[in-house]
Amino acid sequence: MSTEILIIDDNADIRNIINDLIIEVGYKTRLAANYNQALNEIDKKLPDVAIIDIKLDKGDNDGLELLSHIKKKDKNIPVITITGHANVEMAIKALKAGAFEFIEKPFNQERLLNFVKRAVENINLKNKNKEFENKLFYSYELVGDSENIKDIKDQINKISISESRIFINGPTGSGKELIARKIHKQSKRQKGPFIILNGALLDIEKYELELFGEEKDNGSISYGALEKATSGILLIDEISEIPLETQSKILRVLIDQKFKRINGNHDIKVDVRIICSSSKDIKNEIEIGNFREDLYHRLNVFEINIEPLKKRVSDIPLLIEYFSKKISSIYNLKQLNININDNYLLNYEWPGNVRELRNLIERIAILSPDNSDKISNIIKESLKTPDIKDEPLKNSLSVPLKEARENFEKEYLTTQLKKFNGNISKTADFIGMERSALHRKLKGLGIKELN
């Protein structure tokens, strides 16, 4: 798609000169002759680059207001400011407001074109970096063969194509944002924005400002998450942290499909698909009065529940293998050789869930240990688990041989069952037993079979 430059100047001759210069080098243009026209063009569609005359028809510095307006919508857009009434103070003011360059009238045409070309290079580079970051996140897969992950993958395939609201429950670090991004990627809104509003990170007095935006006395507008997510998806993470008063206003938005900015007089129509997530037991939050039940039912058209990693032990070896390959590729390192059946990893509680596991693999990759003992030491130090290999031996020294053997078999078989998500056939194949013999052994040792 061709780069588009918005030219804002109340002098028709200058506007046309700049327009001809820019078209000649291959860029598209849009023109605005005054403040209101410019505001309309900016709100209609953000340009790739803007050239703004600082003094238009509304006031001495109304061009700077337009600069601020653009920067609030997208701080990355380069804005070149021009003026025929230049002074050092004005130049500093423009640059502080975020201007990419400042040029005086009458300007050198070659100098202006040079500024424009640099601005285009700047925005293209930022867009490429943003695209790379998005691809990097989107490139992560939802990995696992546990029943929970299989169910979630099936749910994503079914509900992505709908417009229904979704509520994702799961502990911190379990992959709630990844699930939301997968839904966005497969949805009809995939070309629209994916905006995240984290309820746990906001100042209690700024929830409504972040959601609805604000119209200020000077005429400038601060856009909220609902407008930023127009034609796309808004993920409200940790929604249970949002105050009850703001919850009631969100409910009203869902009912009316419109809202007003803070201090605004006009209704803004909503064209957003909302996904919410919570690491808290949302039904318990409703019971104790922290969350509105009517809002929950509006948001929870489809519900996705992701279990903590400690309940999906069969996914751990797959995740280790996956992150080892992925992170080695990202850092351009030699493939990591991590024992995917290491008891430290399988028996650890993983309070930080998949995120904690990924961070561990990344730490190992960066430290680049050159043998398995060093890898094992990093794992022990990072996870601070007791020495699983030595502990059973120490305990076994004080009991008769038969009891020691039973203790070992019980621990060994419990670990293997967890690894294969309770699948008796796979466990029997791995340990070299007949299926029926394994059933008898488990019953004899008092091990409850996993469902």
pLDDT at 449: 74
User: Residue 133 has what pLDDT?
Assistant: 56
Burial of 106 (0-12, 13-18, 19+ CB in 10 A): exposed
Contacts of 5 (CB under 8 A, 6+ apart): 22, 27, 28, 29, 30, 47, 48, 49, 50, 51, 116
CA distance 87 to 97: 16
What's the pTM? 0.60
For 286, the token pair is: 């409703």
The token pair at 244 is 């009850």
pLDDT of residue 143: 93
* Radius of gyration in angstroms for the set of CA atoms belonging to the chain, rounded to a whole number: 29
User: What's residue 394's pLDDT?
Assistant: 46
CA distance 137 to 179: 11
Q: Convert the pLDDT of each residue in 188-206 to its tens digit.
A: 999 899 999 988 877 777 8
Amino acid at 146: S
* Cα–chain center distance at 61: 37
Query: In the chain, which residues have pLDDT < 70?
Result: 1, 59-61, 86-88, 129-139, 384-405, 450-451
Dist CA 359 CA 67 (whole Å): 40
| Three-state DSSP state, 212 | helix
Distance CA(236)–CA(242), nearest Å, equals 10
Domains of the chain: residue spans and CATH: 4-134 (3.40.50.2300), 147-307 (3.40.50.300), 310-383 (1.10.8.60), 390-445 (1.10.10.60)
The helix or strand, by DSSP H or E, that contains position 4, with its residue range, turns out to be strand 4-8
Nearest to 270 by CA among 324, 313, 233: 233
Predicted local distance difference test score (pLDDT) of residue 357? 92
At residue 247's C-alpha, the angle toward residues 246 and 253, to 5°, is 90
Each residue's pLDDT tens digit, 208-217: 889 999 987 7
Compute the mean pLDDT over every residue in the chain, rounded to the nearest whole number: 85
Q: Report which of 179, 200, 196, 180 is spatially closest to residue 234, judged by C-alpha positions.
A: 196
pLDDT at res. 393 = 45
**What is the DSSP annotation of 36-105?**
HHHHHHHHH---SEEEEES--SS-TTHHHHHHHHHHHH-TTS-EEEEESS--HHHHHHHHHTT-SEEEES
